[in-house]
Structure 1
C-alpha cells in the first residue's frame, strides 16, 4: 500500500495521502436545509481523510428529493456550511460540497414547495420513496422546458458560488446515481426531441453546460464531477449507447480542465482503463464492494489517483490512523445511516478512545 501514502496535488490542495471521504447522504439537516448543529463535529472528526466530499446538497428548492437533506442556496445554508468548513479546516482537512439535484427522484411531500419533481421527460422511475408518512410511489415528474433547463444550470452556478462563500474548497457536481444529470444521459428517462435529447451529444449537453457554468463561476481547479457509468440506480437505463456517451462526455469535461473526475465504479474494469486514458487530470475511483486489503489496488495499477471511501469513513472517524497500524474497524450501523441524532453519527469511537477504555 505504499502508493496510498504518497502526497498528491488536487487543484489548490496538497493532500498527504490518496484516501478521501466519499459523499454520503445522512439526512440530518434542519427542516429549512441548513446543516444540522452536529454537522461540523461529524465532518471535522473525519478531517484526517484529507479531502472530504460532503453529502448531496441541493442547489435549489427544486433540487430536493429526500427529507432533511442540506441545501446551499440561502444565507442560512451558507452560514451553516461555513461552520462545517471552518471546523474541517481547523483539523487540517479540505471540504468539497457535492451539488446534487435529484430531478425526478423526488416526492412533493419532501420538498418545501410541494411541487412535482423536474426531469428531462415526464417519465416516472417506477420506484417508491420514504416520506414523513411512510413509503410512497414517486409520481410522474414535470418535463423541463428550455427555460427550466437554463434556470437550473444557473442554480448550479449560484450554488457553487455560495459554497465558496461558505468557505468550501470546491464543489463536486453530482452527475451520477440516478439523479437529474444522469437522467438526461439515460435513454429511458430522456425522451426529448430538442437539443437536450436524442443523440449522444444532446443527452450529454446538460451535464457539460452545468460543468462549464460552475467552472466559469468558481474556477475549474475547484470543480469536480461525479459519474456512475452503466449503473441503474433510480430506474435508469443508459442503453447500448451508454459507453459512447461517456467517452464523449469525459472528453468534453476534460477540455474544461476540471480538477477531478470521480467515478462510481461498478466493476467494468476494461471501461475504467478507457476512462483513465481519456481523463488527463486527477481521477477518483470509488469501487463498489472493494475489500479492505485491495483499497490501494486501483492506485497501484495506475487506474486511479485517489480512493474515496464511504461506510468505512462513516463508522471510523480515524480510518486513516487505523489503516496505517492495521487496527480493526468499527462496524457501520446501517439503522442510523439516514436521519436521527448523534447516535450513529458522531459517537463512533476512535481507536485511542477504545484503548483508553480497555
Structure 2
C-alpha cells in the first residue's frame, strides 16, 4: 500500500489512469492488480496476481478490505496480465465485493503489451481487440520527473536499487574486522567486543546510543553519507535492538526521505549477517515517506536473513492494512530504564 505526498492528477480517459499508476507506485507494474482509490482516506495498492483461480477471493479481500476500513468511496482497478480468464474472474470478484461494501467501481482495465482492454464496460470489439497506448511521454510522468519523483520500469528495477554493492560491502567488512579497538566508553575504558548475545555494559550502551543518534541526525541534516568506519559502527550498533531503536525513534515524516537515502546507502554496503536492522529501518522510513513499494522491497531484504524480525513483521502488518503514516506517533524512549541504572539524569 502506498501513500504519496499530494500530486494533482485528473484522469479523464483510460490512458490517464494507465499513466497515473506508475507515478503513484514509483514503477511500472507487471503481473499485478493495482487499485487506485478516491474519497475517504485515499491510498494506492498493488498486489501480485493470484497464481490460480482458487486464490482470487484472497486477492479480492486483500484489496477491498483496506478500502472498506478507510471508507473509500470510489475505486479503479488495473490488471496487468495476458490471462483473459483470470482477469475476468478477478474483475467480477472485485466489482461484486465493492458493490457489497458500497464502493463504486469507476473503471476496470486489463493492460498487456501496450494495449488496454475494458473488462466491465465498453464496446465488445474494443474489449476483444483492445486499444494501443503509450504513456512514456504522458504529462503525468513528465510532471513527476520535474518534481523529482523517479518512476522505474519495473518492481525488479526497484529491488535492484537495494542490492548489495560487493566493493562497498568489502570496505565496510574490513572496517568491521578492525573491531572497536581504540574506542572507549564514557569513563575511558575500552568498550570491548560485543554483539546481540553479549551486549555491552549499560554505560557503553548509552554512549553508543547517543553516538548513533548524533551520527544519524548529522547525516540526515547534511544529506551526507557515513564513512566506512562510521558505517561499520552504525551497522554493528543496530544489531542490538536498543541501539536500533535509538535510530528508529528519529524517523519522522518530515525527514523520512532523508532517512530513506541514508539507510538505503547502508543496506547496499551492509554485510549479509548484519542486514536485518538497517533494512527494517529503511522499510520504516520508506513507509513514513509514503513509499509502500520501497518499504516492501526493504522487507524482502530483511526476510533474506531473519524472516521473523519483529520490527519487519510489525511494518508488514501496517502495510497490509494500509495504515497511513500520519497515524503513527512514536513516543518510545530507546534509553528507558538505562539512565536510572547508570545514575544519569
Whether TM exceeds 0.5 here: the answer is: no
Q: TM-score, normalised by structure 1?
A: 0.27
Q: Which has the larger radius of gyration?
A: 2
